[in-house]
Amino acid sequence: MTFTIPRGTQDILPEDIEKWYLIESSAKSLFKLFNFREIRTPIFENTDLFARGVGEESDIFNKEMYSFKDKGGRHLTLRPEGTAAVTRAMIQHNLHKKMNPLKLFYIGPFFRYERPQAGRYRQFHQIGVEYINEKSPYADAEIIALGYHLFESLGITDLKVCINSVGNAIARPVIEEMVKQFISANLSKLPTHIQHKFNDNPLRILDSKDESVQAYIAGMPDIKNALTQESKDHFFSVLQHLDEMKIPYEVTHTLVRGLEYYTETVFEIVSDHLGAQNTVCGGGRYNNLSKELNGPDLGAVGFGFGIERTIMLLDHVKKEINSSIDVYLIPLDSLSRDHLFYVMHKLRGLNISCEIGYSENLKSQLKKANQIHAKRVIIMGEEERNKEVVEYKDMFNRTQESVPLDKIVEIVNNDFAYNQVIFA
């Protein structure tokens, strides 16, 4: 019997890992620029957190959670998303009293029992941010700009930012009634899973991916007519700030998002290159979640984006991401190996990445240097050893020179001096 991974999960192999590093490091440098700090919460939480957090009527809570009882009889759930857990941690550790502004990010695996397909997994990875304790529309705009720049910094620009507002708790029942009124006459003509949502969670009908449903609801009056003046002002301020930063967006009247905690601004970043799962990033404001979890009354806004879907977009822009090594050392006999092993040790101490070949065949070693994208190659055989030199090869410019053995470390170090420079 051979063992394979569970359905809906994937191994991240060394050949793909550079893409993960690239996404994580690009995100982390932007988070630093925007003053976000990392938080790490457990992979599992008490199930009640998600009942309150993502909402008992949501698909995530009803159908997609990996929940189990531990040996002590506790009801636990593998986290399906990060916002509820971060809010729980914020309340538990009084972070809102310790950090101002409270801007947090997280990176890690999340779990949803969904039907696997391209871009949809049961274990997937999200990078998320939460800007807590700030109700200003500037915070919404900052978050959306951060999301947009994140993809831009990866060379992914063929994206659409869709934005809408679902208003506050006062507007919600009015919007639900609007949706029901619009749909009731034709309810029997809509798919049965939509009919089920009619009573339980009518807003989710707007979020349906079903094309026939989308075509039908396109004719619905704008839900923003039901918003209070305050909510309308907030939304238009967000749009104005986005305009000032030249972040392109499209107001999408039917966008509501699938998690129940959203209030006011909701947004998604979508791409035509992702197939059916076309949303790479989703987020919005959630002013009531902290209160809902018995915490203080704090406004917050954030987003999460899927790393797997971002990789699909990276592949589409064909961004060349190679793992590379600074120097590959090729000794052609055992005595030369002793010399080059010492050179390698010195170079690594200078922050220059190195690898050494142990076969004595020059041709196959040069092939290997190419395969691992070595920038420079150092070769030593009997002839060089007798002359106390090495051959130093630049793999980009295809040039080669003989340099004294006792100078090679210094020469390579000068070559890689740019390693130290962060900003020129």
Nearest to ligand HAM of 167, 306 (CB atom) = 306
Q: Work out whether 124 is an interface residue with ligand HAM (CB under 6 A).
A: yes
Q: Work out whether 360 is an interface residue with ligand HAM (CB under 6 A).
A: no
Closest CB 131 distance from ligand HAM, rounded Å? 9
Q: Work out whether 24 is an interface residue with ligand HAM (CB under 6 A).
A: no
Query: Phi/psi zone of residue 328: left (φ > 0), alpha (ψ -120 to 50 degrees), beta?
Result: beta
Classify strands 399-404 and 389-394 as parallel, antiparallel or unpaired: antiparallel
Q: Work out whether 305 is an interface residue with ligand HAM (CB under 6 A).
A: yes
Q: Work out whether 164 is an interface residue with ligand HAM (CB under 6 A).
A: no
Q: Buried (b) or exposed (e) across 207-234, using 16+ Cβ within 10 A?
A: bbeeeebeebbeebeebbebbeeebeeb
Q: Is the peptide bond before 101 cis (omega within 30 degrees of 0)?
A: yes
Give the Cα separation of 105 and 26 in Å (integer): 13
Q: Work out whether 267 is an interface residue with ligand HAM (CB under 6 A).
A: no
User: Residues 309, 337, 339, 375: which binds ligand HAM (CB under 6 A)?
Assistant: 309
User: Residues 45, 59, 130, 134: which binds ligand HAM (CB under 6 A)?
Assistant: 130
Task: Say if residues 258 and 201 touch (Cβ distance below 8 Å).
Answer: no
Q: Print the binding letters for residues 64-93 with ligand HAM: x by CB under 6 A, - otherwise.
A: -----------------xxx----------
User: Which two three-digit tokens encode residue 358?
Assistant: 């142990």
Give the Cα separation of 303 and 143 in Å (integer): 7
Closest CB 129 distance from ligand HAM, rounded Å? 7
Footprint (CB under 6 A) of ligand HAM, residues 273-292: 279-284, 286
* Cα distances (angstroms) measured from residue 14 to each of 18, 100, 323: 8, 39, 9
User: Residues 49, 109, 120, 135: which binds ligand HAM (CB under 6 A)?
Assistant: 120
Give the Cα separation of 315 and 121 in Å (integer): 18
Q: Work out whether 137 is an interface residue with ligand HAM (CB under 6 A).
A: no
Other C-beta atoms closer than 10 Å to the C-beta of 399 total: 9
Nearest to ligand HAM of 84, 390 (CB atom) = 84
Give the binding site for ligand HAM (CB under 6 A). Answer: 81-83, 112, 114, 119-121, 124, 126, 128, 130, 259, 279-284, 286, 302-306, 308-309
